[in-house]
Copies of this chain bind each other. A is one copy, B any other.
C-alpha cells in the first residue's frame, strides 16, 4: 500500500464531480478539461477522461456536438443537459456532506 495508490482512490468520484462542473460552465472539449484540471493540480490522463465522458453521455448527463477545427481533427464539444444539472445539484450536496463528515472525524482529538 503506497501513498500514490491511496491518492488515486481519494480522487475517484471527485473527477466526475469536477468534470461535470467544468462542462456545466460552458462548451468545452477534452483537452480544455485536461488543461483546467491540471491547472488545479488534479491530474487526469486521456485513458481516464474519455471513458468517463462516454459514461456521462450514455447516462444523458451531457451531450456533445462535433465542431471542425482549423488545425487538426474535429473536436467533440460537450455541454450539460437538464438531467445533468439536476445530478450535479445532488453531487454538490454529497460533496459538502463528505467534507463535513471528514472534517468531523479528522479534527477530533
B-binding residues in A (CB < 8 A): 1, 3, 6-14, 16-18, 21-22, 25, 36-37, 40-42, 55-56, 58-59, 61, 87, 90-92, 94-95, 97-102, 104-106, 108-109
Contacts and interface: CB of A to CB of B under 8 A. Distances in A.
Q: How many copies does the complex hold?
A: 2
Contacts of A36: 105
A21 B56 contact: no
A98 B1 contact: no
A95 B10 contact: yes
Contacts of A9: 12-13, 16
27 contacts: A1-B58, A1-B61, A3-B87, A3-B90, A3-B94, A6-B16, A7-B13, A7-B94, A9-B12, A9-B16, A10-B14, A10-B17, A10-B91, A10-B95, A11-B98, A14-B102, A17-B106, A18-B105, A21-B106, A40-B101, A40-B105, A41-B97, A41-B100, A41-B101, A42-B101, A95-B106, A99-B99
